[in-house]
Structure 1
Amino acid sequence: MRDRDATLVIGATGTTGRRVTAGLLAEGHRVKAAGRGATPVEGAQAVRFDWNDPSTWDAALDGADRAYLVPPIGSSDPAAVMLPFLRRARATGLRRAVLLSSSAIPEGGPAVGQVHRELPALVEQWAVLRPSWFMQNFTGDTPHARSIRESGAISTAAGDGRVGFVDAEDIAAVAVRALTDARSPDTDLVLTGPRALSYDEVAAIISQVTGRTVVHRHLTFEELRDRWAAEIPLEFATMLASMDRAIAAGAEDRTTDTVQRLTGRPPGTFRTFVEREVAPRG
């Protein structure tokens, strides 16, 4: 085993990070599982990492030649910490990086779009994953999942707009290939499921699979913004509501062949996801 052959997974216990970690370990790769709590992950080396604490960076980077990068959660300016980290990583020998971004954020756009723009100059090999909205938004402790459980409703300002919802399992599978294949994609990759769905269709599928009636409540932009603003800063609430308005205008009504092309298998359907992760939870 070479001295530098580990993959650093930042956010290793998160929605995509834990799946990327599992996929790498299943293929026999050495993994440094990074997070603020250095949570133990069977088969991986747990390391403490905090984007906002540069004193944690060197230990996380030690022995790593590639990395899966999940931006700091809730940051409006992730480039402020991610770019200095990547410059440090290049100096310590990191050669390949796979960045998690979003289909809603183009290269050079706001937030992580700034990191996307700079990434090719900071590592030899790279990929930017730009998944559509996660199917996992409808399970766990997410706002949609809570509203489904509490009131049997999904509330959006997306109107009849459609979204190519993608399973985090498929995002992780693409990330593993981008991290470990002989050559990285060296491009950005928009990831979707096999079919774009409206929220009305999402509610209907959840109802059919779970046996519980779920409806889609159509809100205006202002209604959704104000609902979010009761919980989070107005600027962030406005941004989230604006994303729904973009969906209503057709911004996310697309599908791509990225998952099939990189993994050799088709992406999972929303119905299969609900059967696996929503229905068992009642």
Structure 2
Amino acid sequence: MTAGGTTLVIGATGTTGSRTAAQLTAAGHRVKAASRQGTAVPGAEPVSFDWYGPATHAAALDGVDRVYLIPPPGDSDPAAIMLPFLEQARTAGVHRAVLLSSSAIPEGGPAVGVVHRALPGLFEQWAVLRPSWFMQNFTGTHVHALSIREDGTIWTAAGSGRVGFIDAGDIAAVAVHALADEQSPNTDLILTGPEALSYDDIAACITEVSGRPVVHRPLSYEEMRERLTDQVAPEFAAMLAGMDQAIAEGAEDRVTDTVQRLTGRSPRPLRALLEEEMR
């Protein structure tokens, strides 16, 4: 990162944002940690930020030349609020933007895919991180983690499809590379863990590590959509259920070398994370 540069980390108290802010500050970079409450993050300057509160945007961008973008959660049309902000960011002096997207959403696809498509036209330096599903979905506050703790069940419409689940710490390590390295990636990056696992594999691993029986219960697309509608907006529930259906058809059955290639270390396996967080 150039001398005097400051990175705005949006969602700095979230799963990847907190880890990205921590890794940047540990490496000596200046960070503005943005969250709705302006919560303090060790080593970073706290700043209040709300995607739906444009009055918070100018102060967050003041003095910033790089930004880590986490889309507003649960919004099926994030481009409506993100694109005006990105234009404001460019005017304010931001020259590099790194966007968190998903391996399931291509450039120009639904939701954040629209922002992905627009990014190269807004900034000369950019990257789009497209990680697979987070390993932390099974240990944090995600619906899967809650159902595991409540009744020992993982509910999906993914069938026996496999996913290259990835540790959020590995996503953050790539984010730091994309934000801080002298040369910007200027591409999208598919990020996975070291192995592709089915939800049956996940349930078996959690059972072995925790000592508590956990099972995977497959649902139809319609059943999964209905289940998710109790927690998120209907259109977002339909998109998430559709992602599960794509997993069942093999869309996420892959492993990439991106984490190893960009960070110089192998991505963390699921069992290692579970042994740390469940024992």
Q: TM range, normalised to the smaller chain?
A: over 0.9
* 1:169 maps to 2:172: no
The CA distance in 2 between the partners of 1:263 and 1:3, in whole Å, is: 22
- Per mean C-alpha deviation after superposition, the further-off stretch among 232-241 and 103-112 is 232-241
> In 2, are the aligned partners of 1:32 and 1:46 still within 8 Å (CA)?
yes
Structure 1 unaligned spans of 5+: none
Percent of pairs identical after alignment?
67
Question: Which residue does 1:41 correspond to in 2?
Answer: 41
Structure 2 unaligned spans of 5+: none
Question: Which residue does 1:246 correspond to in 2?
Answer: 246
The CA distance in 2 between the partners of 1:27 and 1:217, in whole Å, is: 43
The CA distance in 1 between the partners of 2:145 and 2:42, in whole Å, is: 29
Superposed CA offset, 1:87-126 (max 9, x none): 1111111011100000011000111101100101111201
Superposed CA offset, 1:148-195 (max 9, x none): 111111111111100000000000000001000110110000000010
The CA distance in 2 between the partners of 1:20 and 1:183, in whole Å, is: 18
Question: Which residue does 1:17 correspond to in 2?
Answer: 17
Q: Give the aligned residue type for 2:247.
A: I
> In 2, are the aligned partners of 1:71 and 1:112 still within 8 Å (CA)?
yes
The CA distance in 1 between the partners of 2:4 and 2:86, in whole Å, is: 17
* 1:207 maps to 2:207: yes
The CA distance in 1 between the partners of 2:90 and 2:70, in whole Å, is: 17
> In 2, are the aligned partners of 1:133 and 1:164 still within 8 Å (CA)?
yes
The CA distance in 2 between the partners of 1:21 and 1:232, in whole Å, is: 27
Q: Give the aligned residue type for 2:262.
A: L
> In 2, are the aligned partners of 1:3 and 1:63 still within 8 Å (CA)?
no
* 1:1-282 equivalences in 2 (<5 Å): 5-277=5-277, 279-280=278-279
The CA distance in 2 between the partners of 1:89 and 1:236, in whole Å, is: 27
Q: Secondary structure at the match of 1:86?
A: helix
The 1:181/1:139 distance shift into structure 2, 3 A limit, reads same
The 1:185/1:3 distance shift into structure 2, 3 A limit, reads closer
> In 2, are the aligned partners of 1:4 and 1:63 still within 8 Å (CA)?
no
TM-score for the superposition, normalised by structure 1: 0.96
> In 2, are the aligned partners of 1:4 and 1:64 still within 8 Å (CA)?
no
Q: Secondary structure at the match of 1:68?
A: strand
Superposed CA offset, 1:129-155 (max 9, x none): 000000010012221111111111111
Runs of 4+ in structure 1 off by over 6 angstroms are none
> In 1, are the aligned partners of 2:165 and 2:193 still within 8 Å (CA)?
yes
1:4, distance to aligned residue in structure 2 (A): 5.2
The CA distance in 2 between the partners of 1:78 and 1:227, in whole Å, is: 23
The 1:3/1:263 distance shift into structure 2, 3 A limit, reads closer
The CA distance in 1 between the partners of 2:230 and 2:78, in whole Å, is: 24
Superposed CA offset, 1:185-223 (max 9, x none): 100000000100000101111111111111111212222
The CA distance in 2 between the partners of 1:205 and 1:135, in whole Å, is: 12
> In 2, are the aligned partners of 1:4 and 1:65 still within 8 Å (CA)?
no
TM-score for the superposition, normalised by structure 2: 0.97
Q: Secondary structure at the match of 1:146?
A: helix
- Per mean C-alpha deviation after superposition, the further-off stretch among 42-51 and 93-102 is 42-51
Q: Secondary structure at the match of 2:15?
A: coil
The 1:232/1:17 distance shift into structure 2, 3 A limit, reads closer
1:234, distance to aligned residue in structure 2 (A): 2.9
The 1:219/1:242 distance shift into structure 2, 3 A limit, reads same
> In 1, are the aligned partners of 2:79 and 2:114 still within 8 Å (CA)?
yes
Q: Give the aligned residue type for 2:206.
A: I
Q: Secondary structure at the match of 1:32?
A: strand
